[in-house]
Amino acid sequence: MKLTEDSSSLAEHKLLVLYILNKIGKPINQKALLELISSITELNYFYFQQFLLDLIENKYVISYSKDDEILYDITPEGKRAIELTADMIPGILKLQVDNNLKKNLDDIEDKYSISADYTPIDENHFTVKCKIVENNNIMFETLIYTGSKEQAKLIVDNWNNKADEIYPQILVLLSK
């Protein structure tokens, strides 16, 4: 896709973003939104970012910060715009969105619901953040200080691969 494409093609991609946001019906982070759109059409990050910024500037999409994450949602103006112009989106694209959105959204939510990462404090100390997010709400979050990068990596890997086993054990221990 080139930015020199005709204006109807550019508008179509913006409408696709609005259409997907409207179908989702709840706020979503940028990574997940890009992943949803990329599963339907070939839209690179830079064009996606420009379209999203244009939609925000025109007040069709709102962005806000919640729990250290930027979320995007369609505004009432965006909903009216998509109601009036949805027929500009090719039927095949709408069909792909309608058929694949639920599965793709579930896969993306599962992918981003459990996360862990580490940040250095100094050369020998690291902070590890482990988190579980459900419906854009933090259900569990913990900060762990480690004495080595290897230990930080091990905790991140264990959390990302075994959070479904670790989290219930933590709850049991905290409830005693």
Average pLDDT over residues 137-158: 92
Mean of pLDDT over the chain: 84
Average pLDDT over residues 4-23: 77
| Comma-separated ranges of CATH 1.10.10.10 domains in the chain | 7-110
pLDDT in tens, 93-139: 888 777 777 777 666 666 667 888 899 999 889 999 999 887 667 88
pTM: 0.60
The pLDDT of residue 40 is above 60:
yes
SS (H, E, C) the chain: CCCCCCHHHHHHHHHHHHHHHHHHCCCEEHHHHHHHHHCCCCCCHHHHHHHHHHHHHCCCEEEEEECCEEEEEECHHHHHHHHHHHHHCCHHHHHHHHHHHHHHHHHHHHHHHEEEEEEECCCCCEEEEEEEEECCEEEEEEEEEECCHHHHHHHHHHHHHHHHHHHHHHHHHHHC
Of the options 3.30.360.10, 1.10.10.10, 3.40.50.460, 1.20.1740.10, the CATH number for the domain spanning 7-110: 1.10.10.10
Q: Which of 6-20, 51-65, 133-147 has the lowest mean pLDDT?
A: 6-20
